[in-house]
């Protein structure tokens, strides 16, 4: 079963991206390095609640 998750920038806390994740295989929070438009750099984005 897949679940929609929202990714937020770790520096400015802006919610920029949304993606799907498989809850059965990955129970921990998702972390990706993505481009933040407000910071204008590539930063670590973490899954929000």
What would the pLDDT profile of 6-22 be if each residue is shown by its tens digit?
Answer: 999 999 999 999 999 99
Instruction: State pTM to two decimals.
Output: 0.85
User: 2 pairs with which residues across the strands?
Assistant: 22
**Which residues span the domain enclosing 21?**
2-47
What's the domain count of the chain? Answer: 1
What pLDDT score does 6 carry? 97
Find the CATH number of the domain harbouring 42.
2.20.28.120
27-49 pLDDT, tens digit per residue, is 899 999 999 999 999 999 999 98
- DSSP, residue by residue, 8-49: EETTT--EEEEEEEETTT--SPPEEEEEETTTTEEEEEEE--
What pLDDT score does 1 carry? 85
């Amino acid at each position: 079963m897949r679940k929609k998750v929202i990714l937020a920038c770790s520096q400015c806390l802006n919610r920029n991206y949304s993606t799907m994740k498989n809850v059965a295989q990955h129970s921990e929070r998702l972390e990706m390095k993505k481009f933040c438009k407000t910071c204008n750099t590539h930063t670590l984005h973490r899954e929000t609640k």
